[in-house]
Structure 1
Amino acid sequence: MGRKASLVLWAVADVIAGVVAVGLLINVTSGLLPEPLTEPQVAWPALLLVSAVVAALAVRRIRQSEPPQSPNEALEQQRRHDELTPQFDITYRRSGSSDVVTLCLAFVGPLGLDRLDSVEVAVRNDRPDRRPVTAGPPTAEDIASVIWSPYRLRPGVDRADRMGRCTPAVPLDRGEVLYRTLELSLTPHWVPSQDFWRQQYADQPVRLTLTCTRKDHSPWVLPMEITIPSPASNEAS
């Protein structure tokens, strides 16, 4: 019998012994306790409560008795986690000269990972350290309310949030494609003109973060980028 199985059996024995001991205690002291405390509607809930406490202590003992993970086991676990890092092919498609773009995220591997329990898609800012540089606008709140990117997720589509920052996580099988709708990001109110904003991001990629989860594995956080030319650039070419 393995060590963990033995600990589980001991834990079960602890619970049974605790329940029996409490039951005997109630019977022995029933003549000494005030009558309300010996009524079934009081005595049995008390017995269940004590049993739950004993069970919790037994589980805690099992967890504390588990040997710590060795450095080699930790390295092997990390190596396996890295081997199973989800792989995506990312492309886009546009209908004519529309500003709306369909992002296509194809889950292609690796072979040892056939399904993801959840995939969350978010648009990252071009820089993570944007902050106010003057006493006046834009304020920190103004800056936080902007998607600093040429495109954002289209609010309301695929349950994207009102800001266009992210869409909720969904499951995905290997070989399937996750589609997300993008639109041009909104020009901040303090920027001189929309043309100035568009020129600022003319050659900038859309930066994405894919957060992927699978049971019994730590999450994978994948930074990705894709450059999407503006409709005007497509027409010029």
Structure 2
Amino acid sequence: MGFPWSETINGVIAALAAAAAGGSWKAAHRSSATADAVARIERERWHADLTPQFDITLAQTGASVAYLTVHLEGPDHLRELDEVTIAVGNDDMEHTALHPGPRATQADYDAFVWGPYRFQPRTDGADEHGRSPSPFPLVVGRGRPFFMEHTRPGGWMIGTTEEMWQQEHANQPVRLILTCRRGHEEWVIARSLDNPSTTSRA
């Protein structure tokens, strides 16, 4: 009885073919993963290169009113933003209603602007709290003005006058959070501005 050389050779060939196929699949998988990683890095770089650049100024125009200008400076290849939303940020304190009740709920605390300035309520689409005006489009090289005003103590802050409230926030900055969108892209940008009430007295 002879040794089954043909079957052995065929088996070896099949094993080598399977190994080669497996190696090709692994190589293709590695190549695909590398291509995906490179594409992701390029998308992130492209997104970062398009980060909106703003020139934002806030100047006091009256005893309790300030003029905010939001100017989109670039980058030039961004061209425009479909939507810009500006919101006033709170200070760094935790604001929890320890004893919520009819006078003040946690929702009241959350809606209240904890800082020196807010947007003028019911102006440019802002609600009664003055947290944020309505979103708006903006083209590179153009700006948008807004009026802001001193915040006032909450109705539940018994015994706190407007003067006391402003003195408490005299050295605090005005914090803004800008959420910018173009197509499916989104950028969130935080800015801290000097309190114009403080700088005007300097």
TM over 0.5: yes
| Alignment check: 8 A CA contact 1:122 1:209 kept | yes
The separation in 2 between residues aligned to 1:154 and 1:174, in whole angstroms, is 26
> What does 1:14-53 align with in structure 2 at a 5 Å threshold?
none
| Other structure's SS at 1:168 match | coil
Q: What TM-score, normalized by structure 1, do the two folds share?
A: 0.63
| Other structure's SS at 1:159 match | coil
Which of 80, 87, 92 is the equivalent residue of 1:115? 80
Q: Give 2:69's aligned amino acid.
A: C
Q: Which has the higher contact order (CA 8 A, sep 6+)?
A: 2
| Other structure's SS at 2:188 match | strand
| Alignment check: 8 A CA contact 2:56 2:69 kept | yes
Match of 1:36 in 2: none
Q: 1:88 to 1:196 in 2, by over 3 A?
A: same
Which of 164, 177, 180 is the equivalent residue of 1:196? 164
| Alignment check: 8 A CA contact 1:100 1:182 kept | yes
Q: Gapped runs of 5+ residues in structure 1?
A: 1-66
1:174 aligns with 2:143: no
| Other structure's SS at 1:70 match | helix
The separation in 2 between residues aligned to 1:92 and 1:142, in whole angstroms, is 27
1:159 aligns with 2:125: yes
Aligned residues: 167
Match of 2:19 in 1: none
Which of 183, 197, 202 is the equivalent residue of 1:230? 197
Kindly report the root-mean-square deviation, in angstroms, between the aligned alpha carbons of the 2 structures.
2.4
Q: CA deviation at 1:111?
A: 2.4
Match of 2:96 in 1: 131
Q: What TM-score, normalized by structure 2, do the two folds share?
A: 0.73
Q: CA deviation at 1:169?
A: 1.3
Q: 1:156 to 1:132 in 2, by over 3 A?
A: closer
| Alignment check: 8 A CA contact 2:170 2:195 kept | no
| Other structure's SS at 2:166 match | helix
1:214 aligns with 2:182: yes
| Alignment check: 8 A CA contact 1:203 1:229 kept | no
Q: Gapped runs of 5+ residues in structure 2?
A: 1-31
Give percent identity, aligned residues only: 35
From the two aligned structures, give the one with the greater helix fraction. Answer: 1
| Alignment check: 8 A CA contact 2:60 2:196 kept | no
Q: CA deviation at 1:195?
A: 2.5
Q: Give 2:176's aligned amino acid.
A: L
